[in-house]
Amino acid sequence: LSFEEGYIVSTDDRNLPITSFYQGDLKEFKIAYKPPAVDSDTDRIFQIEFEVVDTEGAVSDPFAFMIVVKPMNTLAPVVTKNTGQLLYEGQSRPLSSSHNLEISDEDNLDTVKISVIDGLRHGELTVLGARRKFFTPADLDAGAVIYQHDGSDTYSDNIIFRMTDGTHDVEFLFPITVVPTDDEPPIINANTGLVLFKNQMMQISSLMLSAADIDSEDLTIKFTLEPPTSTVGQVLLRQSEAPEDPSTWKFNTGDEMYEKVVTEWIQRDITDGKLFYKHIGPHSTR
């Protein structure tokens, strides 16, 4: 597609044309066609050629996807503002003419009704606190239309609306972006323990100890030793490069490594191969 033909966008950034997307994006109504800004008096037909690639790299035969752009009907309802909605997980926010969704109609705005035809999978819309089959531009003017997110761990809940003045129907996508909150604890997914000889030092790998968090970046998960700490072993961070603050580190001349005893560390230390356990006590089977 060229600029004169419009382009495909994701609701993550509606100003950036894209050339690829995932099946999951389609299911979440995140992929849309943005028609050319220049109007025409006749139907315009555009063709996009797609191919599908699976996770193993196998590619389908190319296939054509047809788009028909009809001339703008000046008497049909028009979306004059559609900035979408941004809110936190579990939050509610209004759809309003002044902020994010404004509708106009040249000859009969009072008869326009807007209804949901698809999407809205992770929340609900209410008008003056009650569920309705439709709402009006006057409801948007009054800020009476409220979107309530259901609190699930989702990042979007795009809505497909249909508006009609009784004669002309227009469908459009209203994007809703959900900012997740960190309300789920980390989950340990590897905890094998260690078997080592007396006074031996061993690296703790991610196959031995790791965690996951649905709300956070896994590499930033923090591990903390709970008191009372062991008197027969130490947890160490070890690295070959000089640390930013060497005053808290010891340089081991035997293997030319910097090391320090720690009581807390993050998962990135494990994946970077920096976390070690060192036995310093007598022989023990416990």
Tens-digit pLDDT profile for residues 185-200: 899 999 999 999 999 9
Q: Are residues 174 and 241 in the same domain?
A: no
Q: Are 176 and 89 in contact (CB under 8 A)?
A: no
Block residue for tokens 């249909």:
162
Q: Which residues, 6 or more positions from 54, have their beta carbon under 8 angstroms from its beta carbon?
A: none
Residue 285 falls inside a structural domain: no
Q: Of the residues 159, 181, 203, which one is the last residue of a structural domain?
A: 181
The pLDDT of 263-280, averaged and rounded, is 96
Q: Are residues 106 and 128 in the same domain?
A: yes
Q: Of the residues 30, 48, 72, which one is the last residue of a structural domain?
A: 72
Residue 254 falls inside a structural domain: yes
pLDDT 10s digits, 120-152: 999 999 999 999 999 999 999 999 999 999 999
Residue 30 falls inside a structural domain: yes
Q: What pLDDT is stored for residue 86 in this prediction?
A: 94
Q: Are 68 and 45 in contact (CB under 8 A)?
A: yes
Q: Are residues 153 and 124 in the same domain?
A: yes
Total structural domains in the chain? 3
High-pLDDT (> 90) share of the chain, %: 77
| C-alpha distance from residue 109 to each of 29, 258, 271, 286 (Å) | 28, 73, 60, 78
pLDDT 10s digits, 103-126: 999 889 999 999 999 999 999 999
Q: What pLDDT is stored for residue 283 in this prediction?
A: 66
Q: Are residues 93 and 142 in the same domain?
A: yes
Backbone angles phi, psi at 24, to 5 degrees: -60, -30
Q: What pLDDT is stored for residue 284 in this prediction?
A: 65
Average predicted confidence (pLDDT) for the chain:
92
Terminal CA-CA length for the chain: 67
Q: Of the residues 152, 181, 210, which one is the last residue of a structural domain?
A: 181
CA distance 120 to 175: 10
Q: Are residues 174 and 102 in the same domain?
A: yes
Tokens of 146: 């409220």
Q: What pLDDT is stored for residue 286 in this prediction?
A: 59
Q: Are 269 and 221 in contact (CB under 8 A)?
A: no
pLDDT 10s digits, 216-252: 789 999 999 999 988 899 999 999 999 999 999 999 9
Q: Are residues 270 and 194 in the same domain?
A: yes
Residue 239 falls inside a structural domain: yes
Chain Cα centroid distance, residue 32: 17
Chain Cα centroid distance, residue 197: 46
Which tops the pLDDT comparison, 14 or 120? 120
Q: What pLDDT is stored for residue 137 in this prediction?
A: 97
Q: What pLDDT is stored for residue 216 in this prediction?
A: 77
pLDDT band at 71 (very low <50, low <70, confident <90, very high): confident
High-pLDDT (> 70) share of the chain, %: 97
Residue 57 falls inside a structural domain: yes
Domain that holds residue 51: 1-72
pLDDT band at 88 (very low <50, low <70, confident <90, very high): very high
Strand-pairing partners, residue 170, are 163
Q: What angle do CA 22, 173, 161 make, to 5 degrees?
A: 130
Residue 285 has pLDDT above 70, yes or no: no
Residue 155 has pLDDT above 80, yes or no: yes
Residue 147 falls inside a structural domain: yes
The pLDDT of 21-28, averaged and rounded, is 92
Residue 284 falls inside a structural domain: no
Q: Are residues 67 and 93 in the same domain?
A: no
CA distance 204 to 275: 6
CATH number for the domain spanning 116: value is 2.60.40.60
Q: Are residues 275 and 230 in the same domain?
A: yes
